[in-house]
Amino acid sequence: MKSALEIAAAVRGGQSALVAVEESLTAIRARNEELNVFLYVDEDGARAAAARIDEQVRRGEDPGLLAGVPIALKDNLCTTGIPTTCSSKILEGWKPPYNATVVDRLVAQGAISMGKTNLDEFAMGSSTENSAFGPTRNPLDPARVPGGSSGGSAAAVASNMTPVSLGSDTGGSIRQPAALCGLVGVKPTYGLVSRYGLIAFASSLDQIGPFAQSVSDAALLLEVIAGHDPLDSTSLPEPTPSLLAHVADGVAGKRIGLVRELVDGADEDVVRAVNKAVETLKDAGATIVELSIPELHLGLSAYYLIAPAEASSNLARFDGVRFGNRVDGEDVTAMMEATRTAGFGAEVKRRIMLGTYALSAGYFDAYYGQALKVRTRMIEAFATAYQQVDMIIGATTPSVAFEFGSKTNDPMAMYLNDVFTIPTNLAGEAAISVPFGTGEANLPIGVQLLGPGRSEARLFAAARVLEIADGRA
Amino acid sequence: MTEPLSRDDVAHVAKLARLRLTEDELVRYTEQLGKILVHAQDLSSLDLHGVAPTAHPFGLVNVVRPDEVRASLDPAPVLAQAPDVEDGRFAVPRIVGEAP
Amino acid sequence: MMLPNGWEMVVGLEVHTELKTKTKLFCGCANEFGSAPNSQVCPICLGLPGSMPVLNERAVELAMAIGFALNCTIQDSTFHRKNYFYPDMPKDYQVSQYDLPINARGYLDLPDGSRVSIERAHMEEDTGKTTHLGTSGRIHGADRSLVDYNRSGVPLVEIVSGPDIRNPQQARDYVAELRSILVAIGASDGRMEEGSLRVDANVSVHKPDTPFGTRCEIKNLNSLRSLTRAIEYEALRQIDVLEDGGSIRQETRHWDEDRGETSTLRVKEEAEDYRYFREPDLVDLAPDQAWKDRVLAGLPKLPAQRRRDLEALLTNPTDAQRDGVTTVVDLDLDLYVEGVAQAHGDVALAVARAANELAAANEKLANLSVANFVTTVAMEQSGQLSATQAKTVLGELLEKGGDPASVAKAKGFEQLSTDSLSATVGELITANPDEWQRFKDGDDKLAQFFIGLVMKATKGQANGKAVIAELQSRR
């Protein structure tokens, strides 16, 4: 499939938007049953949107930066009149009466939604095995997981069903599946992209971001969805940054920190890939500084208190009163209990209980309160590092894609998958995973580039250097 | 290290969160949550006196909107999405106990 | 009221006021009472998945205005989530201010000279409204409930007093004064019956110079009358329990206005664990000096000051006149009285007419200009109109507008000429010689007898003062 940039250029030049849409539908038909990528395919909506864009072009209007580009949306993004489930039974059949801000922005720039993709229920997971509608398979090796929680959106792009897609990243849910599926995935600076209409997992950590086959497509997509939104109080006030224009800036003169804690514990093939990436960046003119940020070790523990705590409150509204499914009970409390007990899967319940416990009287200070202080420490530690370097490099995940069921019985083993990605969410900063080399079973490896808040342009430029060296462009 | 939480704790938390657990689940969750909390106890041993908690990564303040009316939703499709409706309102079974 | 056997009551009040904004606290839905159910809802105030709150600027400013009016410190503040499941609360948490409220540590001075401390006045969102189906209409015995979310997300300020109130009258004065202030600064419409002002009372009893007793919180106080009755009932109930050797449980109690008693709603042990934590979807509020100054500059003169200013226009005001002034200020009639004062008219008369005739037709004030009020009072003061006539003229002006002279003329209230009055008085003296003789002999009471006859003969057009003058001149 062509890149988003190529499709948009062709459509703006007069090629029918239906060409890419039909190509996308063909690819979906070919493998969706096998891979379980899309929970809902909006065939009619996509064709109608393509016709509207063609009409715009005929009238001499510009349909926008993503003219006719098919896109897949993680099913925790609200879409007017289109089922939005969060891969949970509790929301099955719910059709939101409104669009997430990012969806409106995509439509305004001519993108065409092909439908909604599978995820770990309420974005809680690292393998997409926690979906109430069955797991998504990794298109590169269907015996393995695509990563998670945005596994469906990663698989959509990796299987060429769409050139780009949107996911959400709370502790690594974009970067980790991007790494496991051989894609570029971005966790933008907290507040860069509006969260309005993203069904919240952990509000102070969640960010929406792009998946793409290339750095340029990821930059283009982020540029379209970024920028201040008056509907999100935590949205950064500044206008949309220019990203695509900086992709070719290179890394000459940049100082890049190789952080021990972001490599330690990773498989050998992953470590090798990171070291090779470091050499590549050095060759391109960057100065490499070896660093240690011991505070990063605290990230996992802090994350597994903060995220469940916020989730326990965010998921309270799923009570069977106003929307979604209900299981009857003799009184309202019994009804709410029956609804939630039947509607939520095991991982969601586990995190709700963990979070409820962390916030409850007598434990708040020891757990949640302490975790928020660790967060401060983490932010300060990154700030100190960024006084010495412009960005940081490390691994995205400890290993390549793992096999189904290998970590499902041990929550802690699964959680360890996010050990390299979590610190960025806690600090509210930016990070990119870019494919670089392959490892075990010829599966892709992701290298992670981290920067301070609002450093996306810099990170895209460095990612582009790795992408070229990897022979991907 | 002491057991971070007991079965009673898990039962209490499930009640607060409006979740019902079977005996088996109670045992399993007590063990699993305990394992996770053992890691969390790493944090309790840190000396973080004088460190301010971070609830937000950035220090935005005073984000407000003007007091201007925006269109509300059409009630019909909203009510159509609800599990039970009567008389233009959302219907629920008997409420036991007053609101706090 | 006096409590028996030296007991003293200790009362603190929590007053919730709905703010008079155009829209809700966190969304652009209209903040209006009485619309069709669920017609003023959106993804935010319905708590639909994915929705996010954005704070209403006007609500913040009204909250700050309340802080200024109650002599509070206006401080940097945060929002928290108070987590509990209840069907009238769409997100199953309430966004409220917790350890850092926008207003802290103030006080309110009452007309009787006492001071009640204010602990805090913080912002929070209102819940939806539940209707209980079934026999009683109350929650108990209902088999099904219906929820309307129009009220969900309406901005509230909760004003928490210190435990400084010592009797029901003081509690009533506190709420009345608070209500006048809230109305005066435009924060609230002050309607207790519609629920836009809601009062909960924390009541305990103790003997002076001993520690405070265990308190009970009384809910459902929908009027000033309920408030005083409930506090009195509750204090006496607690005294009964204590004197019988029992002890008070900390609990929430419901006031039943019809039965005139309180009953247990919820015992403290059953209290939820609310798991408060900072609302991550909102940022902190840190108003700078310029913003605070702007709000302060927009604050009108407060009722206490207005009362003082009006009373200063009266010489040695009587209690009745002070009450009149209170009514004038409560109903915002100050301009009428001030107009009379500026025209060097009779301020006491103006207060009386404003506190009675104008107050009775408060909703029709648009028909009566200050100038026309001033003229009518002047006509009464000069004897051109009798008191009865002046009241009639004001009534007519309020009803239909117009100017006082034309109304008086149309009503046939033209002053009797001195000649005509004199002739009438002469005739009546001739017809009642015995009474006239007694009056001449010094029985002043007979003046009223003659005034009555003159009024009857002139169909009320004569001015009492003029009749007395005529009688005196003939004595």
The pLDDT tens digits of the residues spanning A405-414 come to 888 777 777 8
Q: Are C165 and C12 in contact (CB under 8 A)?
A: yes
Nearest by CB to A231, from C47, C52, C276: name it.
C52
Q: In this structure, are C69 and C173 located in the same domain?
A: yes
Neighbours of chain B (3+ CB pairs under 8 A): A, C
The Cα-based distances of C63 to A462, C66, C101, C293 in angstroms read 49, 5, 10, 14
Q: CA-CA distance, C438 to C327, in Å (whole number)?
A: 43
Q: In this structure, are C103 and C167 located in the same domain?
A: yes
Q: How many domains does chain B have?
A: 1
Residue A141 main-chain phi, psi, to 5 deg: -160, 95
Q: In this structure, are C370 and C261 located in the same domain?
A: no
Contacts of A234 in chain C (CB under 8 A): 280-283
- C194 min Cα distance to partner chain B (Å): 19
The number of beta carbons lying within 10 Å of the beta carbon of residue A310 is: 30
- The answer to the question of residue B16 being in a domain is yes
* Enclosing domain of residue C270: 4-296
Nearest by CB to B56, from C39, C76, C280: name it.
C280
Q: How confident is the model at residue A368 (pLDDT cuts 50, 70, 90)?
A: very high
Q: CA-CA distance, A226 to A246, in Å (whole number)?
A: 16
Q: Specify the length of chain C in residues.
A: 475
- C342 min Cα distance to partner chain A (Å): 50
Question: Is residue A341 classed as helix, strand or coil in its secondary structure?
Answer: helix
- C459 vs A61 pLDDT, higher one: A61
Burial bucket for residue A442 (CB in 10 Å: 0-12, 13-18, 19+): exposed
Contacts of A312 in chain C (CB under 8 A): 83, 275
Q: How confident is the model at residue A198 (pLDDT cuts 50, 70, 90)?
A: very high
CB within 8 Å: B82 and A373: no
In C, minimum Cα distance to B18 occurs at: C85
CB within 8 Å: B32 and A411: yes
CB within 8 Å: C280 and B55: yes
Q: In this structure, are C358 and C282 located in the same domain?
A: no
CB within 8 Å: C27 and B70: yes
The pLDDT tens digits of the residues spanning A279-315 come to 999 999 999 999 999 999 999 999 999 999 999 999 9
Q: In this structure, are C320 and C440 located in the same domain?
A: no
A-interface mutation test, from C46, C51, C149, most A Cβ less than 10 A away: C51
Residues of A identified as active-site = 74, 149, 173
Question: Is residue C17 classed as helix, strand or coil in its secondary structure?
Answer: strand
% of residues, chain C, pLDDT over 90: 72
Q: How confident is the model at residue C136 (pLDDT cuts 50, 70, 90)?
A: low
Contacts of C127 in chain A (CB under 8 A): none
Contacts of C76 in chain B (CB under 8 A): 61
| DSSP structure class, residue A295 | G
Q: How confident is the model at residue A131 (pLDDT cuts 50, 70, 90)?
A: very high
CATH of the domain at B31: 1.10.20
* Average pLDDT score over residue span A361-381: 92
Which are the contacts of C26, defined by CB distance < 8 A and separation ≥ 6?
A: C44, C45, C53, C54, C55, C56, C95, C125, C153
- The answer to the question of residue B23 being in a domain is yes
* Average pLDDT score over residue span C343-349: 93
- C433 vs A27 pLDDT, higher one: A27
* Average pLDDT score over residue span A437-443: 95
Q: In this structure, are C287 and C334 located in the same domain?
A: no
- The answer to the question of residue B15 being in a domain is yes
Nearest by CB to A323, from C48, C83, C273: name it.
C48
Q: CA-CA distance, A156 to A181, in Å (whole number)?
A: 10
**Average pLDDT of every residue of chain C:** 92
Q: Specify the length of chain B in residues.
A: 100
The pLDDT tens digits of the residues spanning A29-73 come to 999 999 999 999 999 999 999 999 999 999 999 999 999 999 999
Q: Which one of C393, C410, C427 terminates a domain?
A: C410
Q: In this structure, are C151 and C278 located in the same domain?
A: yes
CB within 8 Å: B78 and A334: no
The pLDDT tens digits of the residues spanning C259-278 come to 999 998 877 655 579 999 99
Q: In this structure, are C125 and C208 located in the same domain?
A: yes
The pLDDT tens digits of the residues spanning C161-197 come to 999 999 999 999 999 999 999 999 999 999 898 889 9
The Cα-based distances of C367 to A106, B54, C361, C402 in angstroms read 57, 58, 10, 8
**Average pLDDT of every residue of chain A:** 96
Predicted local confidence at residue B3, as pLDDT = 66
CB within 8 Å: B96 and A332: yes
Lowest mean pLDDT across A9-13, A454-458, C268-272: C268-272
Q: How confident is the model at residue C415 (pLDDT cuts 50, 70, 90)?
A: low
- B89 min Cα distance to partner chain A (Å): 10
Q: In this structure, are C288 and C314 located in the same domain?
A: no
Across A203-212, C31-40, C358-367, which has the greatest mean pLDDT? A203-212
Predicted local confidence at residue A381, as pLDDT = 96
Q: How confident is the model at residue C416 (pLDDT cuts 50, 70, 90)?
A: low
The pLDDT tens digits of the residues spanning C204-231 come to 999 999 999 999 999 989 899 999 999 9
| DSSP structure class, residue A74 | E
ipTM for this model: 0.96
Predicted local confidence at residue B1, as pLDDT = 43
> pLDDT at residue A350 above 90?
yes
- The answer to the question of residue B13 being in a domain is yes
Q: In this structure, are C345 and C224 located in the same domain?
A: no
Q: How confident is the model at residue B2 (pLDDT cuts 50, 70, 90)?
A: low
Residue A398 main-chain phi, psi, to 5 deg: -70, -20
- The answer to the question of residue B61 being in a domain is no
CB within 8 Å: A199 and C49: yes
- A332 min Cα distance to partner chain B (Å): 5
* Average pLDDT score over residue span A323-339: 96
> pLDDT at residue A109 above 90?
yes
Q: Are C218 and C256 in contact (CB under 8 A)?
A: no
Q: Which one of C376, C410, C444 terminates a domain?
A: C410
Q: Which one of C272, C296, C320 terminates a domain?
A: C296
* Enclosing domain of residue B37: 7-44
The Cα-based distances of B53 to A215, A377, C365 in angstroms read 35, 9, 56
Neighbours of chain A (3+ CB pairs under 8 A): B, C
CB within 8 Å: B18 and A336: yes
Predicted local confidence at residue A339, as pLDDT = 98
- B71 min Cα distance to partner chain C (Å): 7
- The answer to the question of residue B12 being in a domain is yes
Q: In this structure, are C240 and C150 located in the same domain?
A: yes
* Average pLDDT score over residue span C24-28: 98
Q: Are C107 and B49 in contact (CB under 8 A)?
A: no
Domains of chain A: 4-246 (3.90.1300.10)
- The answer to the question of residue B75 being in a domain is no
Q: How many domains does chain C have?
A: 3
Q: In this structure, are C345 and C330 located in the same domain?
A: yes
